[in-house]
Amino acid sequence: MYMKTITVNNQVGLHARPATFFIQKANEFKSSIWIEKEERKVNAKSLLGVLSLGIVKGTDISIGAEGPDEEAAVLALQQLIETDFREFAG
């Protein structure tokens, strides 16, 4: 298992389009991936799960993964958040 804590700093947090981009990236990996906010833990590959956390700007979340590409998955999602989803901003 590999896990990191990250602060979400983009304007709209992790909902709507950013959540969709986050899930698309998470689905590129074989590992099981989840997001934790406070006491709640959801599947990072589930749009409804991610949206249900209500992640807004300034929220600390933990991203964890377990599987063959767990570290790569967490680091890729961390980079996506830290660069304000620039990979998808076309």
CA distance 52 to 43: 11
How far CA 81 is from CA of 9, 36, 61, in Å, comes to 8, 15, 11
Does residue 58 contact residue 11 with C-beta atoms inside 8 Å? no
15 is catalytic: yes
Catalytic residue among 12, 15, 36, 75: 15
- The alpha carbons of the chain give a radius of gyration, in whole angstroms, of 11
Q: Give the strand pairing for 40-43 and 60-66.
A: unpaired
Catalytic positions = 15
